[in-house]
Amino acid sequence: MNPELKKEIEQLKKDLQSLNDEFYANNFSASQDFNKYSRFNTRLKVPHYDTLPSVCEVGEIAESGGKLRICSSVNTWAIVGTQS
């Protein structure tokens, strides 16, 4: 094989490895919208707290006092299934 071609292939392999390392380092943020019904065939583990944390991000869920709660706005917990 041509030495220049071999050198170029090795460089491409290094570049690809570098890109893979960046991708799998999970050092980026992203979101994805799903416009279809999704079903998960696994359990969702909800953290239990004796006292709910005073700090939460919108969308977090937790259980406290036997009630499922969701962070409805920054640092505000609401009981799921009832109107507040």
- Whether 38 maps to a domain, the answer reads yes
- Whether 50 maps to a domain, the answer reads yes
- Whether 37 maps to a domain, the answer reads yes
- Span 20-33, pLDDT tens digits: 877 766 666 666 67
Q: State what percent of residues in the chain have pLDDT above 90.
A: 57
- Whether 84 maps to a domain, the answer reads no
Q: How many domains does the chain have?
A: 1
Predicted TM-score of the model (pTM) = 0.48
Instruction: Tell me the three-class secondary structure of the chain, residue by residue.
Output: CCHHHHHHHHHHHHHHHHHHHHHHCCCCCCCCCCCCCCCCCCCCCCCECCCCCCCCCCCCEEEECCEEEEEEECCEEEECCCCC
Which position has the higher pLDDT, 35 or 15?
15
d(CA 7, CA 13): 10
- Whether 44 maps to a domain, the answer reads yes
- Whether 30 maps to a domain, the answer reads yes
Domain that holds residue 15: 3-79
Tokens at 35, concatenated: 């416009």
Does residue 19 register a pLDDT over 80? yes
d(CA 69, CA 75): 12
